Amino acid sequence: MRQIVTRDVFVLIGAGSTVFTPGLLRDLATSETFREAEVRLVDVDRTAVETMAAVGQRIVAAHGSGITVSAHTDRREALPGARFVTTTIAVGSAAGWRSDLDIPARYGIKQTVGDSVGPGGVLRALRHVPELVAIARDIASLAPDALMVNYSNPLSANVRGIVDYTGVNAIGLCHGTMHTRSALSSDLGVDPELVTATFAGLNHLCWLLDIRTAETDLYPRLRQLVDERAQGKDAAPNRSEGVHAPVSADLFRTFGLYPAPGDRHVAEFFGDYLGNQGPVFEWGLDAGHDMTIEYIDEKDSLWEELRAQAAGTAEPVVEASQEAERFVSIAEAIASGRRDVELAVNVPNHGAIENLPLGAVVEVPAVVDASGVSPVAIGRLPDGVAAVLSARSLQQELTVRAAMERDIDLAVQALALDPLVPTTAIARSILTDAIDAGGFRPAAPHSHPYTKRSGAQ
Which residues does the annotation mark as catalytic?
175
Q: Are 236 and 230 in contact (CB under 8 A)?
A: no
User: How many angstroms separate the CA atoms of 430 and 447, rounded?
Assistant: 15
Length of the chain: 457
Q: Please, which residues have CB within 8 angstroms of residue 132's CB and are 6 or more apart in sequence?
A: 87, 89, 150, 152, 158, 161, 162
Per-residue b/e over 141-154, b at no fewer than 16 CB within 10 Å? ebbeebbbbbbbbb
Encoded amino acid at 3, one letter: Q
Q: Are 92 and 73 in contact (CB under 8 A)?
A: no
Q: Please, which residues have CB within 8 angstroms of residue 137's CB and are 6 or more apart in sequence?
A: 165, 166
Cis ω for the linkage preceding 154 (within 30 of 0): yes
**Pure H helices in 212-262:** 219-229, 246-255
Q: What are phi and psi of 340, to 5 degrees?
A: -120, 155
User: How many angstroms separate the CA atoms of 368 and 84, rounded?
Assistant: 14
- Counting beta carbons within 10 angstroms of the beta carbon of residue 39, is it exposed (0 to 12), middle (13 to 18) or buried (19 or more)? buried
